Structures are given as C-alpha cells and as structure tokens.
Amino acid sequence: MTTNDQLLEYSIPQLLRWRVGSTPKRPALKEKDFGIWNTYTWEDYYDYVRKTALGLKAIGLGKGDTIAIISDNIPEILFVAIGGHSIGAISAGIYQTSMPHEIAQILQYLKVSVVFCDNQEQVDKVLDVRDQIPNVKKV
C-alpha cells in the first residue's frame, strides 16, 4: 500500500489491520476524560475493534445487519462502527438531540438490530418507543 489509488481498493477494517502492522505503538486516538488525556495506540484501537466485532458476532449479528449508535463523539463509536464493518454489518449514527419518535422512525427504516447508547438518557429514548421497533434485539 503506497499510493492513494491503491488505498481505495481496501476496506476500512483492512486498512486498520495494515496500520496496526506498520505502527502498532503509535498513538491513534486521544481523548480527554475529566481533564486527563488518554491515548489509544493503533494496537489498542485494533484490539477494541476486534473485541467489539467478536461481541457482535456472539449475539448473532453479521453481514447485512444494521447497528445504530447514539453517542457523543467518543472513541467507542469508532470501535463499534468499525467492529460492525469488520463482520459485514452496517452502522448508522443518530443525533443525540433526536426525539424518541424520530429515533423510532430511523430504527424502523434502517431495520436496526442493535442500538448502542453512551448514556442513560439515550437508552431511555429508545426504550420509550420500544413497542414501535420490534426489529431491535438489543439496546
């Protein structure tokens, strides 16, 4: 992988594995949590993505299934999205400001199987419309 054109031939999970092989200990992500900076190396990043992919497979998800993410901008959304892509799933982001009826509409339209939320407020919004989203297996 040396030219930009060659990079277009690879999936995001393949590029992540390539990057881990090239620079496993280099910083990939940084986040500030309660005033303290945390760093994820490319190796850490890949490990979280791999564990997420295995977890998604363990609950029966695979190619063509859809997962939704309702979250702030945190590293975990990348782990979930790329973990999903690694098993052939589709990921969709939903704005945290979305109202419960809007969330239900999106989840129905996309036939979402699993919803990831980063806080109880978002979980409650999904649970408020639980009867409208029978395709959702887990929140």
Does domain 4-132 sit in CATH 3.40.50.980? yes
pLDDT for 7 equals 61
Place of tokens 């589709």: 90
To which residue do tokens 């990939």 refer?
A: 28
Confidence of residue 37 (pLDDT cuts 50, 70, 90): very high
Q: CB–CB of 5/75 below 8 Å? A: no
Q: Find the distance separating the first CA and the last CA of the chain, reported in whole Å.
A: 38
pLDDT at residue 112 tops 90: yes
Q: Does residue 76 have a pLDDT over 80?
A: yes
Residue 52 to residue 79: CA distance in whole angstroms: 7
Radius of gyration, CA atoms only, the chain:
16
**Amino acid sitting at position 11:** S
* Cβ count near 55 (within 10 Å): 14
| Mean local confidence (pLDDT), 64-72 | 96
Q: Which of 125, 71, 77, 127 is nearest to 102 (CA)?
A: 125
Residue 4 reports pLDDT greater than 80: no
Range 67-86 average pLDDT: 95
The per-residue pLDDT for 5 is 65
Q: Residue range 72-80: average pLDDT?
A: 94
How far apart are the C-alpha atoms of 29 and 37, rounded to whole Å?
10
Checking if the pLDDT of 9 tops 90, the result is: no
Average pLDDT over residues 73-97: 96
The single-letter code of the amino acid at 55 is: G
Instruction: Tell which residue, 26, 68, 30, 61, has the closest CA to residue 43.
Output: 26
Is the pLDDT confidence value at 1 over 60? no
Confirm if 66 and 111 have CB atoms less than 8 A apart: yes
Mean pLDDT of 28-54: 96
